Amino acid sequence: MKHIQEFGSYAAGLGCEVLYDEQMSRHTTFRIGGPADIFITVNSISPLQKIYSRAFEEGIPVFPLGNGSDLLVADAGVRGAVVTLGSGFRKTSLISDTELECGAGAPLSSVCGFAKEHSLTGLEFAWGIPGSAGGAAYMNAGAYGHTVSEAITSCSHVAKNGQCVTFTRGQFDFGYRQSVYMKMECMIVSLRVKLKHGVKDEIGARMDDLLARRKSKQPLELPSAGSIFKRPEGHFAGALIQQCGLKGRRVGGAAVSEKHAGFIVNLGGASCDDVRRLIEIIQDTVLRETGVRLECEVKFVG
Ligand SMILES: Cc1cc2nc3c(=O)[nH]c(=O)nc-3n(C[C@H](O)[C@H](O)[C@H](O)COP(=O)(O)OP(=O)(O)OC[C@H]3O[C@@H](n4cnc5c(N)ncnc54)[C@H](O)[C@@H]3O)c2cc1C
Is position 208 within any domain?
Answer: no
In a domain, 211, yes or no: no
Residue 136 alpha carbon to ligand 1 centre in Å: 6
Taking the CA of residue 41 as centre, how many other CA atoms within 13 Å lie in the half-sphere pointing to its CB? 11
State which residues form the domain around 38. 2-87
User: What span, in angstroms and rounded, lies between the C-alpha atoms of 152 and 247?
Assistant: 37
Taking 60 as the threshold, does the pLDDT of residue 10 lie above it?
Answer: yes
Query: Do residue 95 and residue 196 come from a single domain?
Result: yes
CA 241 to chain CA centroid, nearest Å? 23
Q: Is residue 209 assigned to a domain?
A: no
Burial 11-38 (b: 16+ CB within 10 A, else e): beebebebeeebbbbebbbbbbbbbbbb
Confidence of residue 2 (pLDDT cuts 50, 70, 90): low
Binding site membership of 129 for ligand 1 (Cβ less than 6 Å): yes
Please work out whether the CB of residue 135 comes within 6 Å of at least one atom of ligand 1. yes
How deeply is 287 buried, as exposed, middle or buried, from its count of CB atoms within 10 A (0-12, 13-18, 19+)?
Answer: middle
The terminus-to-terminus CA distance of the chain in angstroms comes to 17
**What pLDDT is stored for residue 216 in this prediction?**
97
Average pLDDT over residues 191-196: 98
Do 133 and 102 form a contact (C-beta atoms < 8 A)? Answer: yes
Q: Does any ligand 1 atom lie closer than 6 A to the CB of residue 131?
A: yes
88-107 pLDDT per residue, tens: 999 999 999 999 999 999 99
Average pLDDT (62-83) is: 98
145 C-alpha to center of ligand 1: Å? 17
What's the confidence (pLDDT) of residue 1?
57
259 assigned to some structural domain: yes
- What residues are labeled active site? 177, 227, 297
Tell whether the model's pLDDT for residue 78 goes beyond 70: yes
Query: Does the C-beta of 132 come closer than 6 Å to ligand 1?
Result: yes
Residue 103 maps to a domain: yes
pLDDT tens across 203-225, in order?
Answer: 999 999 999 999 999 999 999 99
What percent of the chain has a predicted confidence (pLDDT) above 70? Answer: 99
- Is residue 21 located within the same domain as residue 101? no
Number of domains in the chain: 3
Residues 22 and 94 in one domain: no
| Domain closes at, from 42, 65, 87 | 87
Whole-number Å distance, alpha carbon 38 to ligand 1 midpoint, is 21
Determine, yes or no, domain membership for 124: yes
Give the model confidence (pLDDT) of 238-266 as tens digits: 999 999 999 999 999 999 999 999 999 99
